[in-house]
Amino acid sequence: MSEVIVEKVSKTMDDLQVIANISLSVKNGEFVVILGPSGCGKSTLFHIISGLIMPDIGRVYINGSDWTGKTGQVGYMQQKDLLLASKNVQTNIAIPLLLKGEETKLAYKKVQENLADFGLKGFENYYPRELSGGMRQRAALLRTFMFTKDILLLDEPFASLDAITRRKMHLWLKDLCISYNSSVLFITHDIEEALMLADRIYVLSNRPASVKAEFHLNLHNSFSEKELLKIKILSLLE
């Protein structure tokens, strides 16, 4: 089981209310996308879910247990890949395992076992400066998977990529998460990206962020149905 429930969370920072009474969930194996205006508090919400900061009120439950303000249960990838320029791909990916106290040889073995799935086989000795933008994001995602494959928080991971590369990454990521049965919360500003990836979409308001709407999607949604949904979401984001 890999489930997250966010229950009536609010947060004020520097006398500015950022989040107001947000409740949402991601079920086992589900891909949930969060859409909202820039600066509305989406990243702050991820900081709360990951346990990096405490909410003022509200709770975060992971697999049925209260994990509010506690780290270690979710993999969290921010928009920038944050790869260390002085370390090769293999070492960068192994960092979560090494920080957990894994022996170096075993950590590298686990990395090697996953390189092919992430399109990185043969690139383990390259340095970040030698990789394309898409390859860097794959390395950053694999590093996140090394922390945990069960629950992933992905904060605009493809925003810096060109349109063609981003499209390829969408298809690859969706297949990968199905293969690993990962539960995903994914932040984006891109409605097309949300419609391509999501099982469900939460639309947030301007700051302080609250949930304005929730939409369910499935593989059988027609093009016209998705276009109608796109119009509805656009009207909510105006």
Domains of the chain and CATH, by start: 1-74+155-238 (3.40.50.300), 83-147 (no CATH)
**Contact yes or no for 53/47 (Cβ under 8 A):** yes
pLDDT in tens, 25-84: 999 999 999 999 888 889 999 999 999 999 999 999 999 999 999 998 999 998 788 899
pLDDT in tens, 9-33: 999 999 999 999 999 999 999 999 9
* Residue 163, pLDDT score: 86
Q: Characterize 156-189 residue by residue with b for buried, 16 or more Cβ atoms within 10 angstroms of its Cβ, and e for exposed.
A: bbbeebeeebbeebbebbeebbeebebbbbbbbe
User: What's the whole-number average pLDDT of the chain?
Assistant: 92
pTM exceeds 0.85, yes or no: yes
